[in-house]
């Protein structure tokens, strides 16, 4: 009984922390020179379509990862974003996250994949598609005050794509990995309804056709709401929509990838 009397409920501790936090004036300039944001990212409604053809023997497979191979359409991952401002006009942003989708199914049709023997109807196939995404961009603030900001960005969206198929029924497997540094251009904006509460927007896009070896397009849209819990700490939620189309021609094969997904992220952020 003595122990129970001195056991403080968790919600009391949480309230005490908030009430005991240092107060800051509503008109005080908040730090934003350096920001790091870490969150849990839930991807849903993912669509992944792949084609891999030998350049010497033009036989390949058009594979809808979800329908043909029973692949996942959702995943939960961690995502890291950051921003460093050199001054009010210039900044450097970065981001990283990794997505992995797996599938397992007895085939409902014959397929050919990258030189493997024909994988026939009814064969059990395990598969995997993985994306490692790295973003690095330079930001230029066209307009920036305590209430709002509007700017443009240029950078690179570096995506490492891995596709693997394991046909256990015939003892055959094959994997392919490609890395594509894709240039992106974009716009960003944020608006503070109050010093604590803000909304932000980030849009990046690109289209490339380089020497008939790399062709592709990308659109990446991020929209979020954020609340400053303390002077240096914030919490928020963001919605992301991503679409990518890529054709990469190597000396011995050509890979085509079309991917798209929606995602919701809950995160915490620190500012200095």
Query: The CATH number of 33-271 is which of 3.90.245.10, 1.10.10.10, 1.10.287.3240, 2.40.128.90?
Result: 2.40.128.90
Contact present, 74 and 120 (Cβ < 8 Å): no
Its pTM stands at: 0.79
Q: Measure the CA–CA gap between 165 and 178, rounded to whole angstroms.
A: 15
- Secondary structure (DSSP) of 214-259: EEEEEEEEEEEEEEESSSSEEEEEEEEEEEEEEEEE-SSEEEEEEE
Per-residue pLDDT of the chain (272 residues), as tens digits, is: 444 444 445 444 444 444 444 555 555 677 889 999 999 988 888 888 877 666 665 555 667 888 888 889 898 889 999 999 999 899 999 999 999 999 999 888 888 776 677 788 888 899 898 989 999 999 999 998 889 999 999 999 898 888 888 887 778 887 878 787 788 999 999 999 999 999 999 999 988 777 777 788 889 999 999 999 999 999 999 999 999 888 877 766 677 888 898 999 999 999 99
Q: What is the pLDDT of residues 104-155, one digit of tens each?
A: 998 888 887 766 777 888 888 998 989 899 999 999 999 988 899 999 999 9
């Amino acid at each position: 009984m003595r122990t129970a009397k001195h056991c403080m409920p968790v919600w009391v501790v949480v309230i005490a922390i908030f009430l005991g936090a240092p107060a800051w004036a509503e008109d005080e300039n908040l730090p934003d020179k350096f920001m790091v944001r870490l969150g849990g990212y839930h991807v849903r409604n993912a669509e992944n379509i792949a084609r891999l053809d030998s350049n010497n023997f033009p036989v390949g497979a058009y594979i809808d990862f979800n329908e043909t191979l029973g692949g996942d359409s959702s995943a939960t991952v961690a995502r890291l974003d950051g921003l460093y401002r050199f001054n009010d006009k210039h900044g450097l942003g970065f981001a990283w996250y990794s997505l992995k989708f797996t599938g397992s199914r007895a085939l409902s049709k014959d397929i050919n994949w990258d030189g493997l023997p024909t994988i026939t109807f009814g064969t059990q196939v395990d598969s995997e598609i993985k994306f490692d995404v790295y973003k690095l961009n330079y930001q230029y603030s066209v307009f920036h005050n305590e209430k709002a900001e509007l700017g443009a960005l240029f950078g690179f969206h570096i995506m490492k794509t891995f596709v693997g198929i394991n046909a256990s029924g015939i003892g055959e497997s094959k994997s392919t990995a490609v890395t594509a540094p894709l240039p992106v251009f974009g716009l960003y904006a944020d608006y503070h309804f109050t010093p604590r509460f803000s909304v932000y927007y980030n849009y990046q896009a690109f289209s490339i056709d380089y020497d008939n070896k790399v062709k592709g397009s990308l659109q990446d849209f991020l929209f979020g709401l954020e609340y400053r819990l303390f002077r240096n700490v914030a919490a928020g939620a963001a919605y992301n929509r991503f679409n990518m189309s890529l054709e990469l021609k190597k000396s011995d094969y050509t890979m085509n990838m079309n991917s798209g997904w929606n995602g919701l992220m809950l995160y915490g952020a620190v500012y200095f």
